[in-house]
Structure 1
Amino acid sequence: MQVGNEASLIPVYNGRDLGLTYTKDDCLFNIWAPTAEHVTLALYEDAGEYDEHGNVTDHSGGREFPLTRNEYGVWSLKLQGDWNGYFYMYLVTLPGREPHYAADPYSIAVSANGQRSAIVDLAETDPAGWENDVRPHHGEPLDAVIYELHVRDFSSDPEAPYGGGRGGFRAFLQTGLKDTQGNSIGIDHLQELGVTHVHLMPVPDYKTVNELAVAAGDRSVYNWGYDPQHYNVPEGSYASDPADPAARIREFKQVVQTLHAAGIGVIMDVVYNHTFSVDDGPFEPIVPGYFYRTDEQGRLTNGSGVGNELATERPMVRKFIKDSLRFWAEEYHVDGFRFDLLGLIDTPTVEEFTKELRSEVFPGMMIYGEPWTGGDSPLQHKTLKGAQRGKGFAVFNDNFRNAIKGDSDGWGTGFATGAWGKEDDVVQGIRGAIYDFTEVPSETINYVTAHDNLNLWDKIITTRHMRHACSFPEWNQGMPADGRSAAEAVESADPYHRVNGDDLLKEESVRRSLLANSMVLTSQGIPFIHAGDELLRSKYGDHNSYRSGDEVNAIRWGNKARFLPVFRYYQGLIALRRSHPAFRMRTREQVERHLEILRASDHVVAFRLHGYANGDDWRNIVVIYNGSDRDETMFLPDDSERWHIVVNDCQAGAETLSIAEGDRVTIPRWSMMVLHDDADDALSDEGGNTGSKMPGAGEQTGHFRTVEMYYQRTDGQYEGWNVWVWGTGVQDGHVPLTMIGEGLAVARIRVAPHVRKIGYIFRLNQWEDKDIDMDRYLELGGGNETVQVIIRSGTVTVQAV
């Protein structure tokens, strides 16, 4: 049956009791099946007879109980008695079709491989002390440092001393683990690193791994989990016993509980944009045609790239997503959600669940996702970059990602991997994308790599044309293309070719990798790190390792001892960010007021966070990125003579490493530097005020110059007009106009000595209007003279005075 345009005629149910409501006295079964002619509950004492593929194909033989339908299309049955431990299916009769069995789409427990829905007493799945579990409160979303992690990757390293539960939930419960040299691994490593949230790649039940085979010791089948089956049940292959419906529930609660005890929040990766299959999926057998988006001919659309997409704009699909999220947040105490292909979820739905989760469950709930699709979709209100403005959730910033590293899988380079001309794009990211697609910095997730595509180390190896030198194979669908096994290919590869352990932090690939994530961790917005970056993790050149197995995907904990200075550098950067709110400004106005671009040219980007930004106890913070292959000298702001270096090319943190005195500092190639001044050391003007003293007309201070832009409007209306400048090397952003005569105003702009060109736009108030709707540039040339120009409204030409 094609629902399509008739979807609006189908009754909508707003109750919060779909699925199974269990008590020891009775069970209430509710299923929304408005187009069904009959629905019967089939009740079983066991999980059924499994075939060699891990499937149950015969669901006959259960005790059957008819359900009754109400006006909203909900079929209901209250069954007296305690049915804890039983299994159930629905026998659904649709018009013109034979009756068929289907699992409950609202299942909260299932048998192995999700073949039957299960009845469990959720209270009995609570681990000891669950009632005292407290969510870590890390402030606002901008205070988060997110660490993306796959459950199985975390503990599948055969050399790591996991005593049990390797590759599953129970590995997260083991604390105090050490490598042979005494370094913390596992959950203690995460705590030591300093991340605030662990983003777990999909843990809801997915289709492509045979849970019974994994339980029997077969580790050959692997998947990331972006192929959902039962949305409200933890994945059984991560449990100690997938045949026990309660085990996976209890053990995932224990994961959350253990991470919370370590002060780490838990973010779930969720996939509400498509299902693994349609006919055998959770929805089509119950309400055919309703849950999936179709074109005008009634054909499934493929915005996901895998054959289908959920019609999230329809009321009962929207309700399902909201109910599911709320269930995970309340029952499992999770702290946030990352949405796969968020572009395929209509923006009103995202707005609704964001508001409800924050207001009714947890104010600190993290909500973010991928603002793109996997293909064309007819959805009108796609949640793409910009759709999140002012709505309380965040999206991944692929603009900043590409500016830093280049393309995702190829030889293309970015600022940190060798490309020139990326400075302006980097500056956009540094500012939290407030002049790109965000309203406030908390709407951007800043990152360079995630599970998709080449991870950071392999991307750098690729951009340096070292894949052959590192003996990386060509990969094809999770296997080496030359016919070897993955284990053989990994064994013969050398991802760290030319890396000298005695001089680790001087090696180019290492420095470029540190520079890339240093930019993420010191920019405005929410930083996101892929698991193992801090250990120089390699996946041996596999750009899409979703089913490549443990040999490729395992986090190799031995790399912590081998690359300990890299770990400590990450640890120091995270500590710096978390201890200094200047890196976490909340509003556009704060960024405009306190963030100055000092330089953005010749493969160097430098900026200053000034004026005790966002309540920071450091008055001025200067951050410098040098992506070039030579050491660079950078002029420092002249309102201080003494600067504390807290991050250099070898160490990072919030403590002083050395003192820089004078007006300049040298930054080694492929590295970054962070400095701050002492307020007591700052120079004062005659009135005793500290800070940069802006020169007046014709005045020169040191080596800095002044640009005087005389602005003439034909309408004579200057109220609210100002100029927005960038590339000054001193202080970018808003510059006011001063009236100097009838029909003429001037903006005086300070420019650093190395700057040869600045950009500018004349605007009305906060971008209510522009003089000309385009970026304009002023060539300055060399010399120390004051530059004076006349700019008349509505014209592109500039007249020198």
Structure 2
Amino acid sequence: MNSNYINAEKAIEIYTGNDLGLTYTADYSLFKVWVPTAFTVSLVLYDTGGNGTETVNYGDRDSGRIVNMQRQEGGVWQARFSGDLKGKYYMYRAVFEDGTIKEAADPYAKAVSANGIRSAIVDLRGTDPEAWVLDSSPALPHPADAVIYELHVRDFSSSEDSGMLHKGKFKAFTEFGLRDSAGHALGIDHLKELGITHVHLLPVFDFQTINELGADSGKGAEPFFTEYNWGYDPQHYNVPEGSYSTNPSDPGTRIREMKEMVQALHSKGISVIMDVVYNHTYSVEKGPFQPLVPDYFYRHDYNGRLSNGSGVGNELATERPMVRKYIKDSLAYWASEYHLDGFRFDLMGLIDSVTMRELTEELRLEINPNLLIYGEPWTGGDSPLATKTLKGVQKGKGYAVFNDNFRSAIKGDSDGWGKGFVTGEYDKEGAVASGIKGAIHEFTDSPVETVNYVTAHDNLNLWDKVLATQGLRQAAKLPELENGRLKNGGVVEAAVADADPYFTVDRQDILGDEIVRRSLLANGIILTSQGIPFLQAGDEFLRSKYGDHNSYRSPDAINAIRWENKAKFLPVFEYYKGLIALRRNHPAFRLHGRQEIERSLEFLRCDGGVVSYLLKNNAGGDVWNNIVVIFNANPGPISHKLPETDSCWNIVVDHTSAGTDAFRTVQGAEVELEGLSMMILYDKYGQPEPRSKIIEIHYERPDGDYRGWNLWIWGTGIQDGQCDFRQMENGHAVARIEVLPETASVGYILRLNDWEEKDGAADRFIDCSGSQELVKVTIRERLQENSGGKDDPLQLTS
């Protein structure tokens, strides 16, 4: 076992302050860096970014000015420099007891030079777009209301037919009013028209394998540089990626342009989710942590070797205090400085469950109560971490996980020929039904703990997967690619031009095509299931990546979204648009809790390639009295018996159209469905009772420490179990409990984490028997003067 690993495991100083990194003002700059094992640390100030793109007054050499740093408590080194340093660059130089000298960028850097060579000093307020202080997150009344759209910044605009000037850049999202020759909306206006609520951006922090100065610059280039990458190779966690900027050499430009992108999306009512990668770094020795704190940030196996649960050679030791702190600090910075609305965690299984629980709680309490947080509940390999965040760990913790069980049941395996419900495999009906119910009888406590999807950036995308399951890859002339290159050599662009992924589609009868129907059925299930739906960009007009199952470094010819497909396959786009509108306009498809689902959703059939269910009695306060949803995965038509009603059944979705308005009716007791199609019907409009009333609990603690405290509630009729405090108000924590209108009393216990401690011994109850839609309750913890113990809290109800 190596000595550095032993040292990393020994007791090490930790720092609890919130000011690591650079604190800049025009009068002075304060630098703080955590380097607990160094003998001495110096700040090195530079005039250039170190990549040859700048010139300095005294020549081409910039050796740097060394400023000694003073050691503080908690392993922190500090330097305060008077004067305005804006426009300068800096590094930290650490000397260790064995004589080793390391110079490295600031792990907490908020700005960097091109290719991340040096940390940069910027005035963040100078990077704010006009009216940035007025920018705010779009409303998200409940996580079930989200419709997520996964998108890569470069893919969005890189195609020649995108109509966007700033191809591959953040600023492409600020280009409004774009239309194709037929008048169809493109770019950000297309996203608005489609109706999605959240754009999930693949990593936009600074990553390592793109030469930000351009492929032909030869400056600052490394052998590992490529022209394209998804971005799961972190370099600087708190800085936007420079290749998405119009001027990577100016450290402030990438910050301003990312803010402009967020502001533009917010102006269209679209929230922004950032894909984050706190499970590994691209490099260890050249990464952001190893030079200054050797081995501390990385997890090791029982032999002292780097563990490799990520599959890329290392994994971060998130369970260690200063790694956990770094992740929390980083997320808080992005959420506050960039107004982000959520985070998706890559390989969340490698992040310990305590870190996930704490960051979710703290981000919502301190920054934004409506942040959407979810991730991949798996690892990329074996890991010694005992407290992995896997499916089921998220129960009651306020964040969601991807439902790969549902995904596989719908489509089959991810890259091969394996089939699922919509691609021709029987006996998948039960697994599909479980996903439709939000996995509440599988691995969730609540439907909003599951993110439902069939494809994402990884693996074959939906169109290519369906082609594969039907044995049509060869007929479509899809090339064989690996690591962005053709396996048998040749030019990728030529192979793409020769391929014909849509050879089966009759342009006069697009919705009649078998492959189209199977793909619509797949995402039709997703968009009408309980939980949070997730779509991959371009599914709405049959995007193909030409059979590339791992396009992380493939060229634009593979990855670019081809906007011409919107006009070509307009009926498909309209179908997606209609399904999204149906979901967003009808709360029956967005039920909030386990009890609400169990009361409102009843399966009618679940065999023989058919899954159907009833949403009954104005489910979720819907204006439609009863709703029938039928999925037919058989190639041919079927007849389906309908529940009895004193009215006719009105069809809003079938094989020809999807939306919110009825376009035909069914008078009899049965209805016929076309093969490979879905149907949604309602019987009549009703006058639903109010969906719920709200109990707002204000919790006051004398010590002001609300970390880990939550409510355990029962009797709501909607969602029992853990209820978190989601925001601070006047110094106390606030939680909101949704209960049925007829509820007279709700029970609760105040507890710390998972029953580590309780505030009070007995069960308590809140009287909510009145007619008020909002019941406010104040709970105060009061310390007994004599014994020092706790007495029952005072409840004030209004």
Which category of TM-score, normalised to the shorter sequence, fits these structures? 0.7 to 0.9
CA distance in 1, matches of 2:226, 2:498: 20
Q: Distance in 2 between matches of 1:318 and 1:381?
A: 14
Match of 1:199 in 2: 200
Question: Residues 263-318 of structure 1: CA distance to partner in whole angstroms, max 9, x if unpaired?
Answer: 00000000000000001100000100100000122110000000000000000000
Match in the other structure for 1:20:
22
Aligned positions of 1:479-628 closer than 5 A: 479-628=485-634
* Cα distance in 2 between the residues matched to 1:369 and 1:215: 37
Aligned AA (1:179):
D
Distance in 2, matches of 1:74 and 1:548, equals: 42
Q: Which residue of 2 aligns with 1:799?
A: none
1:7 Cα deviation after fit: 3.1
Selected match of 2:255 from 249, 273, 278: 249
SS of residue in 1 equivalent to 2:74: coil
Instruction: Kindly state the Cα deviation for residue 484 of structure 1 after the two structures are TM-superposed.
Output: 1.4
Q: Show the counterpart of 1:140.
A: 142
- Deviation string 1:731-778 (CA, Å, 9 cap, x unpaired) is xxxxxxxxxxxxxxxxxxxxxxxxxxxxxxxxxxxxxxxxxxxxxxxx
SS in 2 for 1:337: strand
Using the size of structure 1 for normalisation, the TM-score is: 0.83
Letter in 1 for 2:183: G
1:4/1:290 contact within 8 Å kept: no
The one of 4, 7, 21 equivalent to 1:2 is 4
**Partner of 1:718 in structure 2?**
none
Deviation at 1:95, TM superposition (A): 2.1
Aligned with 2:30: secondary structure? strand
Q: What is residue 85 of structure 2 aligned with on the other side?
A: 83
Q: Does structure 2 conserve the Cα–Cα contact (< 8 Å) formed by 1:29 and 1:77?
A: yes
1:598 is matched by which residue type in structure 2? Answer: L
Counterpart position of 1:390: 396
Offset from partner CA, 1:83-108 (integer Å, 9 cap, x none): 00000001111221332210000000
> For residue 519 of structure 1, what is the amino acid of its counterpart?
I
Query: What CA distance in whole angstroms lies between the structure 2 residues aligned with 1:557 and 1:285?
Result: 45
* 1:75 partner SS: strand
Retained in 1: the 8 A contact 2:647–2:684? no
Distance 1:438 1:89, change over 3 A: same
Pairwise CA distance, 1:50: 4.0
Partner residue, 2:170: 169
Are 2:230 and 1:228 equivalent residues in the alignment? no
Residue 509 of structure 2 aligns to a residue whose secondary structure is helix
2:508 aligned counterpart, secondary structure: helix
Structure-1 separation of matches of 2:177 and 2:237: 33
| Structure 1 stretch displaced more, 654-663 or 148-157 | 654-663
Please tell me whether the aligned partners of residues 471 and 494 of structure 1 are also in contact (alpha carbons under 8 angstroms): yes
CA deviation map 1:665-694 (0-9, x unaligned): 111100100000115799xxxxxxxxxxxx
In the aligned structure 2, how far is the partner of 1:411 from the partner of 1:97?
57
Partner of 2:110: 108
Larger Rg: 1
- Does the Cα contact within 8 Å between 1:2 and 1:298 map onto a contact in 2? no
**Partner amino acid for 1:213?**
G
C-alpha separation in 2, matches of 1:291 and 1:454: 33
User: 2:728 maps to what in 1?
Assistant: none
Alignment partner of 1:353 is 2:365? no
Partner of 2:418: 412
Sort the Cα spacing of 1:301 and 1:457 in 2 relative to 1 into closer, same or farther, 3 A. same
What amino acid sits opposite 2:312 in the alignment?
V
1:469 aligns with 2:471: no
> Which consecutive residues of structure 1, in runs of 5 or more, have no partner in the other structure?
52-57, 683-801
Match of 1:72 in 2: 74
User: Out of 662, 668, 674, which is 2:674 matched to?
Assistant: 668
CA contact (8 A) 1:428 1:436 kept: yes
Secondary structure of 1:502's aligned partner: coil
Q: What amino acid does structure 2 have at the position aligned with 1:17?
A: D
1:121 maps to: 123
Partner of 2:154: 152
Query: Could you tell me how far apart the structure 1 residues matched to 2:587 and 2:161 are?
Result: 39
The reply to whether residue 288 of structure 1 matches residue 297 of structure 2 is no
1:545-596 deviations in Å (ceiling 9; x for gaps): 0001100000000000000000000000000000011111111101100000
Of 441-450 and 97-106, more deviation after overlay is shown by 97-106
- Post-superposition shift, 1:215? 9.0
1:420 Cα shift?
0.5
2:420 touches 2:426 (CA, 8 Å); kept in 1? yes
Say if 1:59 and 1:109 are closer, same or farther in 2 by CA, change over 3 A: farther
Offset, 1:220: 6.7
Partner of 2:373: 367
Contact preservation (8 Å) 1:67, 1:75? yes
Deviation at 1:138, TM superposition (A): 2.3
**Could you tell me which residue of structure 2 aligns to residue 705 of structure 1?**
none
Q: Determine the structure 2 residue equivalent to 1:458.
A: 464
Q: TM-score, normalised by structure 2?
A: 0.83
Q: Do 2:600 and 2:619's aligned partners in 1 also have CA atoms closer than 8 Å?
A: yes
**Distance in 2 between residues matched to 1:321 and 1:419, nearest whole Å:** 42
In structure 2, what is the Cα distance between the partners aligned to 1:189 and 1:680? 34
Per mean C-alpha deviation after superposition, the further-off stretch among 586-595 and 59-68 is 59-68
Cα RMSD of the aligned pairs, angstroms, is 1.7
Report the equivalent of 1:701.
Answer: none
| Residue-pair matches, total | 675
Distance in 1, Cα, partners of 2:613 & 2:124: 53
| SS class of match (1:592) | helix
Q: State the alpha-carbon separation in 2 of the partners of residues 146 and 681 from structure 1.
A: 31
% identical aligned pairs: 58
Which structure 2 residue ranges, 5 or more long, are not aligned? Answer: 54-59, 689-798
CA offset digits 1:480-523 (Å, max 9, x no partner): 11211110110100000121110100000000000000000000
The question of 1:42 aligning with 2:44 is answered yes
